[in-house]
Homo-oligomer: A and B are copies of this chain.
Amino acid sequence: MNTATILSAIGRHISLTDDETAFFTSLLLPQRVRQGEMIEREGELTRCFIFVNAGCLMTYFTDKEDVDHVIQFATTGWWTGDLHSFTKQIPSIYTTKGLADSEVWLLPKASMEQLLERIPRFERYFRIIFQNSLITQQHRIIQSYSATADERYQQFREKYPSLEQYVPLKYIASYLGITPEFLSKVRRRLMEKS
């Protein structure tokens, strides 16, 4: 498992010396995640921030009626995990599992703190990552309130074409905030139109 992907992702926002690169990579823990395997579990503390090196993960919330709600998919090049649990060290309300056999880099909380202290440019890096993520989440909220399920599905397909290969429809439905049955109807309507 090599560091090319993660270093290039970071290189898009900040540049590092060779020493800094070496220090950073020394903090990373490689891990494999099999399809269906859970890497973080509801109720446990999130000890690591997760970078997807290959494959695909999803993070979901299980409500009081035991229904899962997908809050995020993450493919190659994305960070994921429960930020709330990670930063405050409280039990997570989310579960993260592999949608395909995947490889991830784990950055433990203590390592993250060392990293930010020793190379403050990483503050910048994560500031930019979180800022972009925030913009995306705001769009998602708007969409969920102003677009119909049909529109949301079409925009999802346009925005994340690469996900369709990994993600079962029922999880896409969940991500869109509808039932799998209704997604079926939506898909049918779209097929009939074209």
Contacts and interface: CB of A to CB of B under 8 A. Distances in A.
A67 B145 CA distance: 10
A82 to B, nearest CB: 9
Q: How many copies does the complex hold?
A: 2
B177 A135 contact: no
Interface string A30-65: 000000000000000000000000000000010100
Interface of A: 61, 63, 67, 69, 71, 83-84, 87, 116, 120-121, 123-124, 126-127, 130-131, 133-135, 137-138, 140-142, 144-146, 177
Given A126-B131, A141-B144, A144-B177, 10 more contacts: A61-B146, A63-B142, A69-B145, A69-B146, A71-B142, A83-B134, A127-B130, A134-B134, A134-B137, A140-B141
